[in-house]
Amino acid sequence: MRVALGRARRGLGLTGPNPTVGCVILDPQGRVAGQARTADGGRPHAETQALAQAGERARGGTAIVTLEPCAHEGETGPCANALISAGIAHAVIATTDPDPRTAGAGIERLRAAGISTEVGVLEAEARALNAGFIKRVTQGLPHLTLKLGLSLDGKIALANGASQWITGAEARQRGHRLRAQADFLLTGAKTVLKDEPRFTVRIAGISGADPAVGVVYDADRADQDIVGWVNQHRSGWRLLPGWDFSAHLRALAAEGYNRVLAEAGGGVARALFVEDLVDEIVVFRAGKVLGGDARDGVGLFGFTDLAQAPHFGRVDVLALGPDVMEVWRRA
C-alpha cells in the first residue's frame, strides 16, 4: 500500500477533477505484476493501467488500491468491473470513495463477485493524500493550503516591501513543489503588482505542472492596474473580483478543482482565516528577525480571547538548508 500511495502522490495537481489513485497488482505468488497511478487529466484510471501491465498474471492475484474502485459508468467502464473481469482473488483498499456514485458500491460489487476485500489499510494516509477530492465531493469546497514564507518573528517583508529572499534556495524549491501539487493558485492584486510573480513550477525535470492562477482584487474600485497587468502579461490568469473567498472557492470546486494553494500577503491570509477556509498551513521559516515595523504574514484579527484563534496541529517539520518547513493541519 505504501508503494501504491507513492505512485498516487506523483499525480497530485495533475489528475483533477478526479482523485489521484495508486494501484499495485500482485500475481498469485505475491510478486508485483503491474503498478500505476491515475493518468494526467484523470483518465485512464490506475486500476485499468495496472491490470493492462499485469495481463494474465493478475488472475488469482491481489489488487492493492489507495481508493475504492469506482462503480459508476463514466468515459470508461467501472474499475470494480475491470478487477472482477481480470480474475482478481483478493483486494486491499485504503479507503472508501465519498463520491455518491460509488460510496461503498465498488466494495460491495467486488465482494458479491467472491473477491475477498480488506478495507482500511493506511486509511489516514490515503485520505490525507486525497483530502482535496474528498472535501470537494462532500462539502463543495476545495482543500486550501496557505503557504507562508516568514522570518522568525512572523514577518513576510520589510516595511519598504523588500522580501526577496527571506528564505533560501532549498525552501523555494519546496515551495515550487507545492505549486506542482496544486490545481489552482490563489493570490491577491497587491502581491501581483508589487512582485510581478510568475507562479510557475521551476523544478528540473518537471514540466506541465503549472497551476491555474486566480487574482483576487477589489471589485468596488476600478483597479485598472491589475486588470491591465493580467490581461497584458498573464492572459491565462483569471481575475476574481471581490473578497468573498467562500464564493470563489465554491465556484472553483464546481469546476472540478480539488487543491488550491494560496500565496499572497497578510490581507488575503487574514481573510481566508476569517472565513474559516484554511485546511493546511505550510510555513517556511528563516532565521532572520525583521522587527516590529516589518510587514506581518497575517493581517490583524483583533481577538480578545485566545479561544477565538484558529487552531492547527503540527504534522511535519523538515530542515531545508538554513530554513525550516513546518506543516500544520486544521485541528
Q: What is the pLDDT of residues 207-239, one digit of tens each?
A: 667 898 999 988 777 677 777 777 776 667 888
Q: At 224, list the grid cell.
A: 485598472
What's the average model confidence in pLDDT over 119-133? 97
Task: Give the per-residue pLDDT at 222.
Answer: 66
Handedness of CA 215, 220, 223, 227 (dihedral sign): positive
pLDDT at 122 over 90: yes
What's the average model confidence in pLDDT over 160-172? 87
pLDDT at 97 over 70: yes
Is residue 256 a contact partner of residue 284, using CB atoms and an 8 Å limit? no
CA dihedral (55, 61, 62, 65) in degrees, to 10, reads 10
Q: Tell me the percentage of the chain whose pLDDT exceeds 90.
A: 74
pTM of the model: 0.92
15-29, 104-118, 294-308: which has the minimum mean pLDDT? 294-308
- Give the CA distances from residue 270 to residues 185, 299, 302, in Å, rounded to whole numbers and listed in that order: 17, 5, 11
Q: Kindly indicate the confidence band of residue 164, based on its pLDDT and cuts at 50, 70 and 90.
A: confident
pLDDT at 76 over 90: no
Q: Kindly indicate the confidence band of residue 67, based on its pLDDT and cuts at 50, 70 and 90.
A: very high
Q: Given 3.40.50.970, 3.20.19.10, 3.40.140.10, 3.40.350.10, which CATH number is that of 2-131?
A: 3.40.140.10
81-95, 116-130, 205-219, 270-284: which has the minimum mean pLDDT? 205-219
Task: Give the per-residue pLDDT at 268.
Answer: 95
Closest CA to 93 of 130, 127, 119, 116: 119
pLDDT at 118 over 80: yes
* Number of neighbouring beta carbons within 10 Å of residue 36: 25
The DSSP string of 141-193 is --EEEEEEEE-TTSEEE-TT---TTSS-HHHHHHHHHHHHT-SEEEEEHHHHH
Task: Give the per-residue pLDDT at 163.
Answer: 79
Task: Give the per-residue pLDDT at 85.
Answer: 96
Q: At 175, list the grid cell.
A: 515551495
312-320 and 323-330 as β-strands: parallel, antiparallel, unpaired?
Answer: antiparallel
Q: Kindly indicate the confidence band of residue 326, based on its pLDDT and cuts at 50, 70 and 90.
A: very high
Task: Give the per-residue pLDDT at 196.
Answer: 78
Catalytic residue positions, numbered: 47
What's the average model confidence in pLDDT over 50-55? 97
Q: Kindly indicate the confidence band of residue 93, based on its pLDDT and cuts at 50, 70 and 90.
A: very high
Q: Kindly indicate the confidence band of residue 77, based on its pLDDT and cuts at 50, 70 and 90.
A: confident
Q: Do 142-330 and 2-131 have the same topology in CATH?
A: no
pLDDT at 197 over 70: yes
Identity of the residue numbered 150: L
Q: Given 2.40.160.40, 3.40.50.300, 3.40.430.10, 3.40.50.150, which CATH number is that of 142-330?
A: 3.40.430.10
Residue-range domain boundaries for the chain: 2-131, 142-330
Handedness of CA 114, 115, 118, 123 (dihedral sign): negative
Closest CA to 189 of 83, 267, 99, 294: 267
Task: Give the per-residue pLDDT at 227.
Answer: 79
Mean confidence (pLDDT) of the chain? 92
d(C-alpha 118, C-alpha 126), whole Å: 15
* Number of neighbouring beta carbons within 10 Å of residue 261: 27
